[in-house]
Amino acid sequence: MPAPLAAALLPLALLAPAASRVSVLEAAFDPATAFVPPTAVSYATDLVPYGSHARVVTDRSVPGRTEFTVTVSGLAPDHEFPVHLHTGSCGADPASSGPHYQDAVDPVQPSTDPAYANERNELRLLLRTDGQGKATATTAVAWQPRPGEARSLVLHAGTPAGPHAAGDRVACVKLER
């Protein structure tokens, strides 16, 4: 049926100029100590097993706005993982991802002032895995990260935390080299 097919392809063609503002990152979680430094690091294999998978779509096609969509598979089932944009990169030490990225940076660090530490000034998502360990979450913020300053997405232990504190960093995805 050629006509419906053409109709389906037309919107994609119209969107093509914006495609360069959309980046897609796919990675499997690996140990931080892997010979080739991995794009996605797991620090807690009970929650984020090696070989489990993340896909991050960053859409900056609308000026002054960024939409993040995070999709994971193979994680611990029926679990909530808070996910944040952090300033540092993913290293062997979970703390290497540094503090949360803030659009307006709190002059007092670590930032606890709700005028800065809030979901409009930071990027926060909540991944809720299903019984198979899959989850997807989308959020948008009214800013675009400054290049080189938002280098990772960090998954926290969340709930049920088991042997981990809820805030522990259990995995990290490098957004920039």
CB closer to Cu ion out of 84 and 164: 84
CB closer to Cu ion out of 52 and 97: 97
Select from 131, 27, 101 the least CA-distant residue to 71: 27
Query: Is residue 154 a contact residue for Cu ion (CB under 5 A)?
Result: yes
Separation between Cα atoms, residue 11 and residue 38, nearest integer Å? 36
Q: Closest approach of Cβ 157 to Cu ion, in Å?
A: 11
Q: Closest approach of Cβ 73 to Cu ion, in Å?
A: 21
Structure tokens at 77: 């089932």
Q: In this structure, are residues 173 and 54 in contact, taking their beta carbons and an 8 Å threshold?
A: yes
Q: Closest approach of Cβ 154 to Cu ion, in Å?
A: 5
CB closer to Cu ion out of 61 and 89: 89
Separation between Cα atoms, residue 101 and residue 130, nearest integer Å? 28
Q: In this structure, are residues 151 and 89 in contact, taking their beta carbons and an 8 Å threshold?
A: yes
Q: Closest approach of Cβ 3 to Cu ion, in Å?
A: 49
State the Cα torsion 125-166-98-106 to the nearest 10°: 70
CB closer to Cu ion out of 61 and 96: 96
Sole residue written with tokens 């997405």: 153
The residue within the footprint of Cu ion, chosen from 84, 151, 164, 174 (CB under 5 A), is: 84
Q: Closest approach of Cβ 11 to Cu ion, in Å?
A: 36
Per-residue mark of binding to Cu ion, 44-83 (x: CB under 5 A): ----------------------------------------
Tell me which stretch binds Cu ion (CB under 5 A): 12-20, 25-33, 44-52, 150-158: 150-158
CB closer to Cu ion out of 15 and 113: 113
Report CA-CA distances (Å) from 73 to 20, 54, 62, 70, 172: 26, 7, 28, 10, 15
Q: Which residues bind Cu ion (CB under 5 A)?
A: 84, 154
